[in-house]
Structure 1
């Protein structure tokens, strides 16, 4: 599956990420946040257990359940500088 990835700044230079199937809009319940595009068309294997670059656990399960996958605040990794 190919995903479009969005991000938003969090505290201490960290980012939260939101992944949606390529070409799909961010679902209604998640649009109240100012997401900015981070990456498009990211290829993800169906059995992938995490997207380590985006601190997203179980992306396919999350997408199946709610239409998107999102970073858990508990799993935020090292800060990624904004370009």
Structure 2
């Protein structure tokens, strides 16, 4: 699946990631927060490896449920460890 990846910096130098299927608009419920484009048109596959702190199976479940996937609070990473 091709996705667009957004990143948001948070307190304590942590960041979260949001993935949205490519060519889909940023969901309205997250559009008012400070998400910045990180990478566009990225291959996001169910390969067992984490992508942008997201577990692929969980991310695909989130995308199927709400149209996007977002890092869980416990899965945030420091800005320097991203990707």
Report the TM range for the smaller structure's normalisation: 0.7 to 0.9
Greater fraction of residues in helix = 2
Aligned residues: 79
Contact 2:44 2:51 in 1 (8 A): no
- The 4+ residue runs of structure 1 with deviation greater than 2 A are 47-50
With normalisation by structure 1, the TM-score equals 0.82
Q: Give the root-mean-square deviation of aligned CA atoms.
A: 1.9
Contact 1:49 1:59 in 2 (8 A): no
Structure 2 gap ranges (5+): none
With normalisation by structure 2, the TM-score equals 0.82
